Amino acid sequence: MRTPAAQAGVTGLQAGSSMARSPIMSRYNFRESEAKWQRIWREQRLFEVAAEPGRPKYYVLEMYPYPSGKLHVGHVRNYTIGDLVARYRRAQGFNVLHPMGWDAFGLPAENAAMAENIHPAIWTHENIKTMRAQLERMGFGYDWSREIATCHPDFYRHQQKIFLDFLAAGLAFRTESWVNWDPVENTVLANEQVIDGRGWRSGATVEKRLLAQWALRITAFTEELLDAIGQLERWPERVRLMQENWIGRSEGARVCFAVAGTDERIEVFTTRQDTLFGASFLALSPNHPLSLRLAEKDPGVSAFIAECNRMGTSEAVIETAEKRGYPTGLEAVHPFDESRHVLVYVANFVLMEYGTGAIFGCPAHDQRDLEFARKYRLPVIPVVLPPGEDPATFTIGDIAYVDDGMLINSAFLDGLSVAEAKRAAGERLEKLGLGERTTVYRLRDWGVSRQRYWGCPIPVIYCSACGIVPVPEKDLPVILPADVSFDVPGNPLDHHPTWKHVPCPVCGGPAQRETDTLDTFFDSSWYFLRFCSARAPVAFEREAVDYWMPVDQYIGGIEHAVLHLLYSRFFTRALKQCGYLNLDEPFAGLFTQGMVYHETYQSENGEWLFPEEVVTGEGGRLVDLAGRPVTAGRHEKMSKSKKNVVGLDVIVDMYGADTARLYLLSDSPPERDLEWTETGIEGIWRYVNRLWRMVSEPPVALAAPGTPIPAALPPAVEGTRRATHKTIAAVTDDLDKFRFNRAVARIRELTNTLEELPSSEPGAAEVLREGLETLTRLLGPMMPHLAEEMWQMLGGEGLLADQPWPVADPQLTRDEQVTIAIQVNGKLRGTLEIPRDLDNLAVEEAALALPHVLRWLEGQPPRKVIVVPNRVVNIVA
């Protein structure tokens, strides 16, 4: 209980202009406190660590940010979770590596260069400066001595060496791949720059173009990457599933169709060789070699292919586009029946990158084929009979039948199940020499060339005499030129007057540098290794990596579930093959946090408004600052375009870092999306002050630090002490399982309990001290500044950050009395207080004696009684 005496006579500390209204109630001065503790942590180099062989380590890493400008509150959820884990493991005695860096190359810097006429390097460095200051203000315990930026030559010189080693090992190679081409800007567009088939700036219809590019042979590790997913025990199941599906192992068969009247053969890949007798057409990818040859003679085919090439390169676009085909006039001969011919189409939905770039269509048993067949009036022959259907009457309507059944209309396959028919058809194909059973994967090699300036230069030189020549190691790094112009569309490196012209390292003749740069996923595939020895003259020191790797806890957004995480897994293996390290999996534990949402606001004329431009007017209606009406819209992921962002600085100015941190941890489970609300953050701010007052103005004089707690306590005081120890156990368990919102709820429960402690009872002073010290330690990883302040006020020694994590006394976490539920026919009819582990018969007797139970039994003996020890009794009447 708070007493008026405790509130009186304390001067109001100025805690933020909007908050410091009270002359009576004291407020926590977070500004002074947060700056002070941040200074002390920095001065003591608290979070700078070195490898200590023999001491257990813990590597915590949050996915490093792209320096896009200023942070909003949505950005820091990730880092708040990471800092909690880092400080928690530190308190548990681990040598914790918790570094931070910048994913500093990328497209937005070039967009800014064009839009605002600012150099990408300057834009990036200014953003880094701003964001670093913002992270420091949040009190995150990073080892800043290991800070890296991928755009720094000290980082990318090593990356260029890695590229050359990959090249030497055959893991990097030249290939051709398709890109989105903007014919007006003369530029390659990223998928996100293609909107409804048009360039986002020019509005021109985007074309597909084939370009010679560098790629990495991730497919050399396909099976390994797939098989090892099973060992990633501390990864979310959904991420493992997504990676499995991405790699996409399919067992099936290659089947050769001869083209009637020619020597031409078309090889298709199928997983449904059992349905070959239901084939009614063949479809070729528009990029299939045969399609291209046909196009040379047939203007219709040529026009159709050109039309397909006007579609973007992204799979989502291709798969959602209307399925269309163009008849080539060719007929293919059925491999099992020479008398049967099927039409050959070129079709826009067949991908050259997958299988053989050609398919056979069996409309009866594949939905997409069925729609195609209906559209072009092709036969639909059912060959798999669903159980219980009559073969004489079974027909296919609008829905293809894709499940198991018995083969019909299929000659030697008739009567078999789908699995048996797959085997039999495969064997027959092999015997006829017309095909073979095979396994294909969806995973493609990774194209790493980007026709852009702001990326790591690819260290190769093209010589007309010597061909592709790697830049000699002594000439690394190949440095990006600073004097570039974005006035001309296209790649500034290519336009640069001198940069690309160099003598050939082999023959000394005139040669040209590669002007493509590396995909930024290349940077992020090894940055976590660089952190282990961030200033090393090599990419990373072997001993440092041996000590610190793998990352024990990696934390980031679910949007990286496949690409970044799969590329990093591949990279680690590729580096192992090149002798860099001895490790397969870079991330032992992975956690993917949800996004942060906020309500959107629109003015009368449909313009988006920032939350701070909206106030509640008369009658609770929303208005803008000029009093004009505002419509509140959907709650969406915070984004600049919809303006539904809450700036981090605004929140930290108004409430402090700790309040923001606790809100981000407490409101929703971390894996789920979180709704940012102004009232929610105010609630946390009130709680922060409550905690501060509990320690600065305790209701009873606390016992001196270290005073032993009396063995015998009055029941109410004993109950509080038990609550303290139960909270330690529960919070520890919750933190281990990433249930931060629950942990916060437990801590708040303990706060409530401590406030209700009867202060006049014997032992209260000692139990309250234990409770408050515990509370402080448990809060440490969440609200580190406030916790230090509380620790100091409690007279604790040294820094709270150096204190060990509390341990619960098992004697005090077990209750001797339990409350169990009494049900009749599964419905709750009462509860019963019984001693723990009372034997079932006694429990049953007590339950049956309850007046309520007797009423519901109406004098009849129960038919059955189920007793679940210490939980429930269910009486079946």
Partner RNA sequence: GCGGACGUGGCGAAAAGGUAGACGCAGCAGACUUAAAAUCUGCUCCGGGAUACCGGGUGCGGGUUCGAGUCCCGCCGUCCGCACCA
User: Which 822-851 residues touch RNA, going by CB under 7 A?
Assistant: 823, 825-829, 831
Q: Which residues pair with 209 in a beta bridge?
A: 179
Question: Which range of residues in 104-112, 475-483, 541-549, 768-776 is near RNA by CB under 7 A?
Answer: 104-112
Cα angle, residue 135 at apex, residues 134 and 137 outer, rounded to 5°: 65
Question: Which range of residues in 75-83, 252-260, 278-286, 735-743 is near RNA by CB under 7 A?
Answer: 735-743
Cβ–Cβ < 8 Å for 507, 463:
yes
Distance CA 249, CA 440 (A): 6
749 binding RNA? (CB under 7 A)? yes
Q: For residue 724, which phi and psi values (nearest 5 degrees)?
A: -60, -50
Identity of the residue numbered 502? V
Minimum distance between the CB of residue 14 and RNA, rounded to whole angstroms? 14
198 binding RNA? (CB under 7 A)? no
563 binding RNA? (CB under 7 A)? yes
Q: Which of 672, 836, 837, 840 binds RNA (CB under 7 A)?
A: 672
> Binding pattern to RNA, positions 574-603, x when CB under 7 A?
---------------------x--------
245 binding RNA? (CB under 7 A)? yes
Instruction: Taking the CA atoms of 207, 208, 210 and 213 in sequence, report the sign of the dihedral they define.
Output: positive
Question: Which range of residues in 255-263, 273-281, 448-456, 537-545 is near RNA by CB under 7 A?
Answer: 448-456
Q: For residue 821, which phi and psi values (nearest 5 degrees)?
A: -90, 140
Q: Which of 242, 623, 716, 793 binds RNA (CB under 7 A)?
A: 242
Q: Which residue's CB is nearer to RNA, number 225 or number 630?
A: 225
871 binding RNA? (CB under 7 A)? yes
Cα angle, residue 290 at apex, residues 285 and 294 outer, rounded to 5°: 105
Q: Which of 264, 389, 673, 733 binds RNA (CB under 7 A)?
A: 673
Which tokens go with 274? 């059992």
500 binding RNA? (CB under 7 A)? no
Question: Which range of residues in 330-338, 373-381, 491-499, 665-673 is near RNA by CB under 7 A?
Answer: 665-673
Minimum distance between the CB of residue 143 and RNA, rounded to whole angstroms? 21
Cβ–Cβ < 8 Å for 163, 455:
no
DSSP designation for 221: G
Q: Which of 159, 275, 291, 449 binds RNA (CB under 7 A)?
A: 449
Helices and strands (H, E) in the chain, number of each type: 28, 37
Which tokens go with 721? 């002490």
Minimum distance between the CB of residue 89 and RNA, rounded to whole angstroms? 22
Q: Which residue's CB is nearer to RNA, number 237 or number 487?
A: 237
The footprint of RNA on this chain (CB under 7 A) covers a number of residues equal to 108
> Which 306-325 positions form the footprint of RNA (CB under 7 A)?
313-316, 319-320
Question: Which range of residues in 387-395, 540-548, 672-680, 841-849 is near RNA by CB under 7 A?
Answer: 672-680
Which tokens go with 511? 């040669």
DSSP designation for 471: P
Minimum distance between the CB of residue 643 and RNA, rounded to whole angstroms? 16
Closest CA to 732 of 83, 84, 60, 98: 84
> Which 700-729 positions form the footprint of RNA (CB under 7 A)?
none
H helix or E strand, kind and range, residue 83: helix 77-91
Q: Which residue's CB is nearer to RNA, number 58 or number 692?
A: 692
Minimum distance between the CB of residue 538 and RNA, rounded to whole angstroms? 24
> Binding pattern to RNA, positions 117-156, x when CB under 7 A?
----------------------------------------
184 binding RNA? (CB under 7 A)? no
357 binding RNA? (CB under 7 A)? no
Q: Which residue's CB is nearer to RNA, number 504 or number 757?
A: 757
Closest CA to 205 of 185, 182, 186, 187: 182
Q: Is the bond into 477 cis (omega within 30 degrees of 0)?
A: yes
Minimum distance between the CB of residue 510 and RNA, rounded to whole angstroms? 26
What is the distance of C-alpha 403 from the center of its chain?
A: 34
Residue where the block lists tokens 């908050």: 19
Question: Which range of residues in 245-253, 581-589, 622-630, 713-721 is near RNA by CB under 7 A?
Answer: 245-253
16 binding RNA? (CB under 7 A)? no
Minimum distance between the CB of residue 572 and RNA, rounded to whole angstroms? 18
Closest CA to 592 of 546, 568, 557, 550: 557
Which tokens go with 833? 């207080």
Q: Which residue's CB is nearer to RNA, number 559 or number 802?
A: 559
Q: Which of 45, 238, 375, 501 binds RNA (CB under 7 A)?
A: 238
Q: Which residue's CB is nearer to RNA, number 308 or number 820?
A: 820
Q: Which of 192, 322, 390, 398 binds RNA (CB under 7 A)?
A: 192
Minimum distance between the CB of residue 244 and RNA, rounded to whole angstroms? 8
Q: Which residue's CB is nearer to RNA, number 37 or number 79?
A: 79
> Which 759-788 positions form the footprint of RNA (CB under 7 A)?
none
Minimum distance between the CB of residue 797 and RNA, rounded to whole angstroms? 30
CB atoms within 10 A of CB 203: 11
Distance CA 484, CA 454 (A): 11
State the number of CA atoms in the 13 A half-sphere of 545 facing the CB.
23
Q: Which of 66, 88, 527, 531 binds RNA (CB under 7 A)?
A: 66
Output the 3-class SS for 653-668: HHHCHHHHHHHHHHCC
Which tokens go with 92? 């548990």
Question: Which range of residues in 254-262, 449-457, 489-497, 499-507 is near RNA by CB under 7 A?
Answer: 449-457
CB contact burial 392-416 (16+ within 10 A = b; e otherwise):
eebebeeebbeeebbbbebeebeeb
Minimum distance between the CB of residue 581 and RNA, rounded to whole angstroms? 24
Minimum distance between the CB of residue 866 and RNA, rounded to whole angstroms? 4
> Which 532-561 positions form the footprint of RNA (CB under 7 A)?
558-561
State the number of CA atoms in the 13 A half-sphere of 661 facing the CB.
26
Q: Which of 519, 766, 773, 789 binds RNA (CB under 7 A)?
A: 519
Minimum distance between the CB of residue 638 and RNA, rounded to whole angstroms? 11
Distance CA 90, CA 98 (A): 10
Q: Which residue's CB is nearer to RNA, number 326 or number 570?
A: 570
Distance CA 85, CA 72 (A): 21
Q: Which of 231, 582, 752, 840 binds RNA (CB under 7 A)?
A: 752
Cβ–Cβ < 8 Å for 468, 164:
no
2 binding RNA? (CB under 7 A)? yes
745 binding RNA? (CB under 7 A)? yes
Strand, helix or coil for residue 682:
helix
Question: Which range of residues in 250-258, 461-469, 708-716, 816-824 is near RNA by CB under 7 A?
Answer: 816-824
Q: Which of 246, 394, 462, 608 binds RNA (CB under 7 A)?
A: 246
Distance CA 661, CA 89 (A): 18
Q: Which residue's CB is nearer to RNA, number 241 or number 306?
A: 241
Pairing state between β 148-149 and 101-102: parallel
Task: Kindly write down the DSSP assignment for every residue of 553-616, as one continuous string.
Answer: EEEEEGGGTTHHHHHHHHHHHHHHHTTS-S-S-SBSBEEEE--EEEEEEEETTS-EE-GGGEEE
Q: Which residue's CB is nearer to RNA, number 330 or number 688?
A: 688
Q: Which residue's CB is nearer to RNA, number 475 or number 675?
A: 675
Rg value, the chain, Cα = 34
741 binding RNA? (CB under 7 A)? yes
Identity of the residue numbered 543? E
> Which 377-436 positions form the footprint of RNA (CB under 7 A)?
none
Distance CA 332, CA 341 (A): 5
